[in-house]
Amino acid sequence: MFLGIDIGTSEVKALLLSDDHRIIGSAGTSLSVSRPHPGHSEQNPADWWSATQSALLKLQAAHPADYAAVRAIGLSGQMHGAVLLDAQDRVLRPAILWNDTRCALECTEMMDALPGLTDLAGSLAMPGFTAPKLRWVAKHEPEVFQQVAKVLLPKDYVRLMLTGEYACDMSDASGTLWLDVQKRDWSDALLALTNLNRSHMPRLVEGSAPGGLLKNDVARLLGLHPGIVVAGGAGDNAASAVGMGAVDSGQGFLSLGTSGVLFVVTPSYQPNAASATHAFCHAVPGRWHQMSVMLSAASSLQWVTDLLGAPNAGVVAEKAGALSAAQRAAAPLFLPYLGGERTPHNDANVRGSFHGLSFDTDAARLGYAVIEGVTFGLKDGLAALNAAGSTVNRLSLVGGGARSTFWAQQLATALDVEIVTHGSSAVGGALGAARLGWLATGAAQADVCLSPEVDATYRPDAAEQPLLLERYATFRSLYR
């Protein structure tokens, strides 16, 4: 058995995976986020550790024999969070999370101070990343900053509790803005921007390599064998990719959740930071990945569902899918920038709009416009990845939006790629984390990182493409 632990923002989830690829069970414990000021988002690292213990005890109670057979642990987690420790490993302040926006000014300062930042880091400096958070702390909480001995990411704080070791994998480290992503090593030049050095950083390991051993006292507490390996693990998106078997060049997935993420594996470091994409290390050796991120994806559909008073998003998608080609052609165009946009515009202040409303515009056409607008936003993202050299022929579709067959087909047609969907068990970082634990025992990647069974396959519809391409051209012109 292999144990995957995913430290999310809203939940810690634990999953048991057998060596014949069966998911034996999973358990979760919820977390809350503190927002002490507008734009601030924080959590207490001690809450992650207590939630981890709680989730593991639930798993043990439900599957005692299987739980006792665990031979390795893998970790996955929310990226970018800043856990500040003093020389005695005491937490100096609540962790500043990925969705905290307080350090926008510090991002501008970092870009101005080091024009080569994007070449090293593979991304623009954005408030989500870890490094600008430390620059903010140095400026606004100098008494805290002076005591910082180590900076850890969320899942690596849990690793410290499990193993007593400071370690971080390459994929999660890529989201700090301190890593030379091409060299897979800390960058002295990037660290200097926040007045830190290598002594403040954990050691780096590959996600599929050992990242510590379970301490004896913790093993007794958790009912596990002492000394079992804890893998390097991964940031949440890279872990999800490992769970879906996306570890080789050209493989990828499209996550249609609150936000929209396009993730493509690349054989080398291929940045396109100018279009607000991210080029990160993958969780397996010798692989990188590119990500485009749009901020409002399935959440846009939920927004219009609430606005229309429809019972649920599925009903809106169904009505949109029933429109004729002529009705779709007459539907308004929707810019899905309800909360700003990342890829390709990196524009926090842009907002959404409907273009081309008429007396014929009804609920079905509004719903269609929103679905299509999100599809076009994702097409923008794929274009930004293609511009950096990525090629992809097939994408796994995951997240809440994957439930709509109409949307899946539209994505295949608009993006001109094959789209496949899987059962719900294939989704999430905990499965990928368990697989990374398995790899850390010496298992072969080809045996562990299998693709999940395909539920449905959607191929581009050539008859639909001309209308979508014409509307996409107009959509592109509207951002200006």
Q: Is 244 annotated as a binding residue?
A: no
The response to whether 80 counts as a known ligand-binding position is: yes
DSSP 3-state of 271: coil
Distances from the Cα of 241 to the Cα of 139, 147, 258, 263, 455, angstroms:
37, 37, 18, 8, 17
Q: Which two tokens stand for residue 89?
A: 């490993």
Per-residue pLDDT of the chain (480 residues; tens, 9 = 90+): 999 999 999 899 999 999 999 999 999 999 999 999 988 999 999 999 999 999 999 999 999 999 999 999 999 999 999 999 999 999 999 999 988 889 999 999 999 999 999 999 999 999 889 999 999 999 999 999 999 999 999 999 999 999 999 999 999 999 999 999 999 999 999 999 999 999 999 999 999 999 999 999 999 999 999 999 999 999 999 999 999 999 999 999 999 988 899 999 999 999 999 889 999 999 999 999 999 999 899 999 999 999 999 999 999 999 999 999 999 999 999 999 998 898 999 888 899 999 999 999 999 999 999 999 999 999 999 999 999 888 898 999 988 888 899 999 999 999 999 999 987 654 579 999 999 999 999 999 999 999 988 999 999 999 999 999 999 999 999 999
pLDDT value at position 424? 64
What are the strands, taking DSSP E only, across 273-373? 278-281, 288-294, 333-335, 353-355
CATH class of 2-237: alpha beta
Could you tell me the residue ranges of all domains in the chain?
2-237, 245-426+450-480
CATH class of 245-426+450-480: alpha beta
The radius of gyration of the chain from alpha carbons, rounded to an integer in Å, stands at: 22
> Is residue 317 within 8 Å of residue 256, measured between CB atoms?
no
Query: Which residue is catalytic, options 66, 169, 172, 236?
Result: 236
**Global confidence as pTM:** 0.91
- In 133-259, which ranges are E strands? 150-152, 167-169, 179-180, 185-186, 203-205, 210-213, 229-231, 234-235, 252-256
Whether 287 contacts 298, CB under 8 Å: no
- Tell me whether residue 17 is exposed, middle or buried, using C-beta atoms within 10 angstroms of its C-beta: 0 to 12, 13 to 18, 19 or more: buried
Nearest alpha carbon to residue 458 among 396, 388, 366: 396
Which of 473, 313, 268 minimizes the C-alpha distance to 379?
473
Q: From residue 233, how far is each of 5, 177, 244, 257, 438 by CA, in Å?
A: 9, 19, 15, 23, 11
Burial classification of residue 119, based on how many CB atoms lie within 10 Å of its CB (0-12 exposed, 13-18 middle, 19 or more buried):
middle
The pLDDT value given to residue 374 = 98
Asked if 2-237 and 245-426+450-480 have one fold, the answer is yes
CA 278/CA 281 separation, integer angstroms: 10
Please report the sign of the dihedral spanned by the C-alpha atoms of residue 34, residue 40, residue 41, residue 45. negative
The whole-number pLDDT of residue 112 equals 97
Give the model's pLDDT for residue 425: 52
Question: According to the model, what pLDDT value does residue 221 have?
Answer: 97
Read out DSSP for 346-414? Answer: -BSS---EEES--TT--HHHHHHHHHHHHHHHHHHHHHHHHHTT---SEEEEESGGGG-HHHHHHHHHH
Catalytic status, residue 6: no
| Amino acid, res. 18 | S
First to last CA, the chain: 54
